[in-house]
């Protein structure tokens, strides 16, 4: 008996540089070896545009997490770190949420964070982090480009193109959200 096919990956990347924080994500949704959709929007603004977030993993799970994070941001306005820690606690301890298979990158003017279902809330080194099936490819490219004379958005776009050329679960249809740190 074969196992059911799984929804596969994505690539989400964040870069903080030059007074801006950018989160970029590709648009591919795959089921097994089939591309189901190429224009999914996995990066979006939250909290009235004060926070940007991107997800990697099962789509329905990610929307549940977006809703939960939005609720925590309402409960703790202008406190991204606290909202994320509280959500991570819920994610780790709630029986329903523990089954969710997704990761998130979130950012506001001060912090960039990675959230996982194991309760992790991590701040990336050097303001660069990638998640998803192509996350390490995009992360490697971004780290190589971050010291060059490029904007955060340019680094994200170039890195996402590199990831799409390498990872079969990542495409070149990139969504970008940007926040000014000021």
Residues labelled as active-site residues: 10
d(CA 170, CA 175): 12
Closest among 29, 76, 86 to 51, alpha carbons compared: 76
Name the one residue in this structure whose structure tokens are 């820690």: 85
User: Between vectors from CA 50 to CA 52 and to CA 21, what angle results, nearest 5°?
Assistant: 50
């Amino acid at each position: 008996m074969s196992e059911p096919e799984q929804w596969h990956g994505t690539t989400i990347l964040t870069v903080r540089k030059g007074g801006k924080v950018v989160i970029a994500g590709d648009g591919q949704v795959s089921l097994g070896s089939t591309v189901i959709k190429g224009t999914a929007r996995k990066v979006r603004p939250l909290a009235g545009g004060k926070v940007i977030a991107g997800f990697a993993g099962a789509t329905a799970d990610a929307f549940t997490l977006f809703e939960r994070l939005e609720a925590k941001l309402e409960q703790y306005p202008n406190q991204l770190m606290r909202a994320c820690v509280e959500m991570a606690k819920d994610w780790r301890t709630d029986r329903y949420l523990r089954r969710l298979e997704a990761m998130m990158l979130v950012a506001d003017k001060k912090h960039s964070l990675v959230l996982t279902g194991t309760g992790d809330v991590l701040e990336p080194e050097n303001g660069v982090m990638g998640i998803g099936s192509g996350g390490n490819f995009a992360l490697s490219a971004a780290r190589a480009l971050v010291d060059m004379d490029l904007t955060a958005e340019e680094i994200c776009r170039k890195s996402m193109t590199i990831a799409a050329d390498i990872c079969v679960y990542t495409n070149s249809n990139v969504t970008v959200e940007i926040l000014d740190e000021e």
